[in-house]
A and B are shown apart, each in its own frame.
Chain A
Amino acid sequence: MNVHITPTMLGQVVISGILSGALYAMVALGLALIFGVMRIINVAHGPLLMLGAYTTYFLYSALGINPYLTVPVSMLVLFVVGVLLERTLVFRVVDAPELSSLLLTFGISIALVNLAQLLFTSDLRAVEYLTGSWVVGPFALSKSRLVAFVFAGALTGLAFLFLGWTKLGKAIRATSQSREVAMVCGINVQRIHLITFGLAAALAAAGGALIAVIVAIQPEMGQIWTFKSFLVIVLGGAGNYPGALLGGVLLGLIEQVASLFLTTQLSEVVAYVLLVVILLVQPTGLLGGRQT
């Protein structure tokens, strides 16, 4: 393919990449938190995002609520779902071999997706709220993507403030550094696990709610987000929370640049090849592992 790339095109690509990168970073931060604190990769992370998207869709279509006002509602609902899942199922495999936690969350993910298919059908559903773009100079900024970027940036910032400055946030980071030492310091580790899982589900839900305004949603939308969130973590370094920010923006940029040269069909292939290459040359991620 012979593409002539102008500076405008490149600028547009960088803007789009950063816009979607913030969303990747926020969703991946949830997965990174669970991995850091509980040493579990939650395969159901993407399906939780899907549930957040449907919460927003139904609040919008049935009650006519502004979809952006539903973001905190979706987050709250999924926080509760996350806490319930942790309390009933996931806590049983925290210390089990990796096989158990992967299979358990995989089973949960299949159950959630098929439950959604049963209840909501596989039809594509769209929240038609903020369509069109703002044109700034030579660049077109999709309205819904820009608002999603602002939301994702703000929520990720809040999450980092919470982790950095509140007592609970510090307890979460302490648990992720060393569970035994955290216990000795009087931290209730079971409670931290519960809150972390809820928080991660809420971050996924926020992502789902914002995505529902951008593209049409369906029950199987989630799985690719589990994969992409994991890729973001690997890019930034597993267990390294600020790394998730860098990883998210990088993934956004790489996908957009790839879309210049290849069809969008192949953008997932690009992301995949990226994962394999990084595991081959720099498996600790670009910022190195485990700094919290």
Chain B
Amino acid sequence: MTRRRAALAALAAVVAVLAAYPAFASGYGVRATLQVFMWIVLASSWNLISGLTGYVSFGHVAFFGAGAYAGAILVAKAGWPWLPAALAGGVAAVLLALVIGYPCLRLRGPYFAIAMLGLNEVLRALVSYFEGLTGGGNGLSLPTLDATIPIYYAMGASAAMVTLVTHAIITSRFGLRLMTIREDEVAAEAMGIDTGRHKLYAFLLSAAGPGIAGALTARDQGYIEPISVFPLATTITMIVMVLFGGKGTVWGPVLGAVVLFVAQEVVWTRYPYVHPLLFGAIIVAVVLLMPRGVLGILQIRYRLPRTI
């Protein structure tokens, strides 16, 4: 168990450094790390539904946007403090997931994937339509507040929480049932697993993180508009992060989020038009050539446990 101990010690060290980081970091450093936390929340949440059950969500950014609007409206119109508003953003996203997930996840097959493909456009249209509440296309401004550092901690706690929840699920019977659904849904049903309900629970869990992250991001940026909180590119990025890192694992999405965020900042911002094209190519390549992702390959090569 020395390897396990060493891993835990390293993890504790990373958490300690990240917790102390804002005390000595530059403004850019804090902001970039905050972004990494956000991507960890988004990627790990996508992994909960799509990596574990095999049901692909093509519109996960919808929960980010729903959380952003729910949180921003509560702050701007009802005067809520940002922390409860962020939690309310998570609740709003879970409720939305319930409405979409209940009809679509009862069925096997591609229904869920396509329903999620359309959800984003629909929310954008709705937000633009209900101008009185959302400001429509003009966007919604929040009262000014310098809370980057508290939001850094809140986002970091969310990232840690989502990762912990993923670990708890993957090491539990619930997680085994989800993975059974992924491998063979008919067999899962034959063994008495209530597949519809399990898929729905996984989906509801996967919506909470993006909802909270959306509300926190809205508070941090102080201004949201339909185009900025519902971009298809965000969904694409979380999918690429999970596939690259290794879907269905605890640390794969984290690895993917960190590596791809750094790559994006350092290299790809110089080629703004090539990089989405590259993302499409990465998805195709990973699906065909290394479906288990980087972590999956490491697990096999170095005989690492399945539950990392």
Contacts and interface: CB of A to CB of B under 8 A. Distances in A.
B288 A89 contact: yes
A108 B285 CA distance: 10
A104 B291 CA distance: 11
Contact of A276 (B54, B115, B281): B115
A114 B115 contact: no
B115 A279 contact: yes
Interface in B251-274: 273-274
A269 B130 CA distance: 13
Contacts of B291: 100
Interface in A14-48: 35, 41, 43
Given A114-B273, A279-B104, A269 B125 contact: yes
Contacts of B110: 35, 41, 98, 102, 230
B129 A265 contact: yes
Contact of A43 (B54, B117, B122, B232): B117
Nearest to B121: A268
Given A103-B243, A103-B287, A230-B114, A272 B276 contact: no
Contacts of B281: 107, 111
B129 A102 contact: no
A110 B279 contact: yes
B236 A269 contact: no
A8 B103 CA distance: 37
Interface residues of A, number: 45
A226 B117 contact: yes
Contacts of B279: 110
B274 A266 contact: no
Nearest to B105: A279
Interface string B116-151: 011101100110110000000000000000000000
B100 interface: yes
Contacts of B100: 276
Interface string B39-83: 000000000001000111010000000000000000000000000
Interface in A241-290: 263, 265-266, 268-269, 271-272, 275-277, 279-280, 283
B17 interface: no
B27 interface: no
A110 B280 contact: yes
The 7 closest A-B pairs by CB, nearest first: A107-B283, A111-B280, A110-B280, A114-B277, A107-B284, A280-B103, A41-B110
15 contacts: A35-B110, A41-B110, A89-B284, A102-B110, A103-B239, A106-B56, A108-B284, A110-B280, A111-B277, A113-B280, A226-B114, A265-B129, A268-B122, A269-B122, A279-B103
